[in-house]
Structure 1
Amino acid sequence: MNTPFKAGDAVRWNSEAGEIHGKVVKVHTHDVEFLGKTRRASREEPQYEVKSDKTGHLAMHHGDALKST
Protein backbone atom coordinates (compact mmCIF):
# COMPACT_ATOMS: atom_id res chain seq x y z
CA MET A 1 0.00 0.00 0.00
CA ASN A 2 1.04 3.61 -0.53
CA THR A 3 1.95 5.91 2.33
CA PRO A 4 -1.17 6.46 4.47
CA PHE A 5 -3.14 9.58 3.65
CA LYS A 6 -4.89 11.96 6.05
CA ALA A 7 -7.87 14.28 5.73
CA GLY A 8 -7.01 17.30 3.60
CA ASP A 9 -4.35 15.55 1.48
CA ALA A 10 -4.51 16.26 -2.26
CA VAL A 11 -4.78 13.00 -4.22
CA ARG A 12 -5.61 11.65 -7.66
CA TRP A 13 -7.25 8.41 -8.76
CA ASN A 14 -8.48 6.73 -11.93
CA SER A 15 -12.14 6.32 -12.82
CA GLU A 16 -14.14 5.46 -15.91
CA ALA A 17 -14.06 9.19 -16.74
CA GLY A 18 -10.24 9.33 -16.55
CA GLU A 19 -7.92 10.69 -13.87
CA ILE A 20 -9.70 12.57 -11.07
CA HIS A 21 -8.07 15.09 -8.74
CA GLY A 22 -9.46 15.80 -5.31
CA LYS A 23 -8.90 15.73 -1.57
CA VAL A 24 -9.24 13.17 1.18
CA VAL A 25 -12.31 14.13 3.22
CA LYS A 26 -12.24 11.36 5.83
CA VAL A 27 -10.26 8.25 6.71
CA HIS A 28 -12.38 5.24 7.73
CA THR A 29 -10.75 2.58 9.90
CA HIS A 30 -13.96 0.63 10.64
CA ASP A 31 -16.59 -0.80 8.31
CA VAL A 32 -18.81 1.97 6.97
CA GLU A 33 -22.02 2.28 4.97
CA PHE A 34 -21.32 4.40 1.88
CA LEU A 35 -23.80 5.06 -0.92
CA GLY A 36 -25.89 2.06 0.12
CA LYS A 37 -23.02 -0.44 0.34
CA THR A 38 -20.96 -1.67 3.27
CA ARG A 39 -17.30 -0.84 2.72
CA ARG A 40 -14.83 -2.93 4.70
CA ALA A 41 -12.11 -0.95 6.47
CA SER A 42 -9.59 -1.47 9.26
CA ARG A 43 -6.59 0.32 10.73
CA GLU A 44 -4.35 -1.85 8.55
CA GLU A 45 -6.45 -1.26 5.41
CA PRO A 46 -8.40 2.00 5.75
CA GLN A 47 -10.90 3.30 3.22
CA TYR A 48 -10.41 6.89 2.10
CA GLU A 49 -13.44 9.09 1.40
CA VAL A 50 -12.40 11.49 -1.35
CA LYS A 51 -14.08 14.47 -2.99
CA SER A 52 -13.53 15.47 -6.60
CA ASP A 53 -12.21 19.02 -7.05
CA LYS A 54 -14.09 19.36 -10.35
CA THR A 55 -17.54 17.90 -9.57
CA GLY A 56 -17.68 17.70 -5.79
CA HIS A 57 -18.73 14.04 -6.03
CA LEU A 58 -17.70 11.71 -3.23
CA ALA A 59 -16.00 8.35 -3.74
CA MET A 60 -14.32 5.82 -1.49
CA HIS A 61 -11.07 3.99 -2.26
CA HIS A 62 -8.39 1.87 -0.66
CA GLY A 63 -5.02 3.58 -0.38
CA ASP A 64 -3.48 1.61 -3.23
CA ALA A 65 -5.93 3.29 -5.66
CA LEU A 66 -4.78 6.79 -4.63
CA LYS A 67 -1.67 8.76 -5.51
CA SER A 68 -0.39 11.99 -3.98
CA THR A 69 -0.47 15.08 -6.17
Structure 2
Amino acid sequence: MAKDLSKGDKVTWQSHGTTVPGTVEEKITSDEKAAGRTVKASPDEPQYRVKSDKSGKDAVHKPESLKKKHG
Protein backbone atom coordinates (compact mmCIF):
# COMPACT_ATOMS: atom_id res chain seq x y z
CA MET A 1 0.00 0.00 0.00
CA ALA A 2 1.27 3.43 -0.91
CA LYS A 3 0.83 6.33 1.48
CA ASP A 4 1.74 9.99 1.08
CA LEU A 5 2.09 9.90 -2.68
CA SER A 6 2.98 13.08 -4.54
CA LYS A 7 2.52 14.29 -8.10
CA GLY A 8 5.18 12.70 -10.29
CA ASP A 9 5.64 9.57 -8.13
CA LYS A 10 6.00 6.39 -10.17
CA VAL A 11 3.51 3.70 -9.11
CA THR A 12 2.04 0.40 -10.24
CA TRP A 13 -1.44 -1.10 -9.85
CA GLN A 14 -3.32 -4.21 -10.91
CA SER A 15 -5.76 -4.03 -13.81
CA HIS A 16 -7.41 -7.18 -15.18
CA GLY A 17 -4.63 -9.36 -13.77
CA THR A 18 -1.84 -7.21 -15.23
CA THR A 19 0.56 -4.89 -13.40
CA VAL A 20 0.25 -1.41 -14.89
CA PRO A 21 3.00 1.21 -14.43
CA GLY A 22 2.10 4.87 -14.25
CA THR A 23 2.58 8.27 -12.68
CA VAL A 24 0.60 10.09 -9.98
CA GLU A 25 -1.05 13.15 -11.50
CA GLU A 26 -2.96 14.46 -8.47
CA LYS A 27 -4.25 13.67 -4.99
CA ILE A 28 -8.04 13.96 -4.79
CA THR A 29 -9.43 14.97 -1.38
CA SER A 30 -13.03 15.89 -2.22
CA ASP A 31 -15.85 14.49 -4.35
CA GLU A 32 -15.21 15.41 -7.99
CA LYS A 33 -15.32 14.07 -11.52
CA ALA A 34 -12.09 12.45 -12.66
CA ALA A 35 -11.18 9.80 -15.23
CA GLY A 36 -14.74 9.78 -16.52
CA ARG A 37 -16.50 9.07 -13.23
CA THR A 38 -17.51 10.67 -9.95
CA VAL A 39 -14.85 10.05 -7.32
CA LYS A 40 -15.80 9.90 -3.64
CA ALA A 41 -12.85 11.19 -1.63
CA SER A 42 -12.01 13.21 1.47
CA PRO A 43 -8.85 14.43 3.24
CA ASP A 44 -9.06 11.33 5.48
CA GLU A 45 -9.76 8.96 2.56
CA PRO A 46 -8.03 10.41 -0.51
CA GLN A 47 -7.82 8.87 -3.94
CA TYR A 48 -5.19 9.42 -6.61
CA ARG A 49 -5.52 10.23 -10.30
CA VAL A 50 -2.82 8.33 -12.14
CA LYS A 51 -1.78 8.18 -15.78
CA SER A 52 -0.90 4.84 -17.34
CA ASP A 53 2.57 4.69 -18.92
CA LYS A 54 1.21 2.11 -21.39
CA SER A 55 -2.04 3.70 -22.61
CA GLY A 56 -1.68 7.32 -21.50
CA LYS A 57 -5.18 7.11 -20.01
CA ASP A 58 -6.18 8.43 -16.60
CA ALA A 59 -7.47 6.22 -13.80
CA VAL A 60 -8.38 6.86 -10.18
CA HIS A 61 -7.32 4.53 -7.37
CA LYS A 62 -7.39 4.36 -3.61
CA PRO A 63 -3.94 4.43 -1.99
CA GLU A 64 -4.17 0.77 -0.99
CA SER A 65 -4.38 -0.16 -4.68
CA LEU A 66 -1.13 1.61 -5.58
CA LYS A 67 2.44 0.45 -5.01
CA LYS A 68 5.19 3.05 -5.16
CA LYS A 69 8.10 2.08 -7.40
CA HIS A 70 11.52 2.52 -5.81
CA GLY A 71 14.64 3.36 -7.74
TM-score by length of 2: 0.87
The list of structure 1 runs, each at least 4 consecutive aligned residues, that deviate by more than 3 angstroms after superposition, is: none
For 1:3 and 1:38, locate their aligned partners in 2 and report how far apart those are by CA, in whole Å: 22
1:9-41 CA-to-partner distances (Å, cap 9, x unmatched) read 000000015110000001111111120x32111
| Matched residues, number | 68
The aligned residue for residue 32 of structure 2 is: 32
TM-score by length of 1: 0.89
Mapping of residues 13-28 of structure 1, within 5 Å: 13-16=13-16, 18-28=18-28
Matched letter for residue 19 of structure 1: T
The gaps in structure 1 that reach 5 residues or longer are none
Over the matched positions of the two proteins, sequence identity in percent amounts to: 40
For 1:52 and 1:33, locate their aligned partners in 2 and report how far apart those are by CA, in whole Å: 18
Asked if the contact 2:2–2:68 (Cα under 8 Å) also holds between the matched residues in 1, the reply is no
For 1:3 and 1:9, locate their aligned partners in 2 and report how far apart those are by CA, in whole Å: 11
The aligned residue for residue 7 of structure 1 is: 7
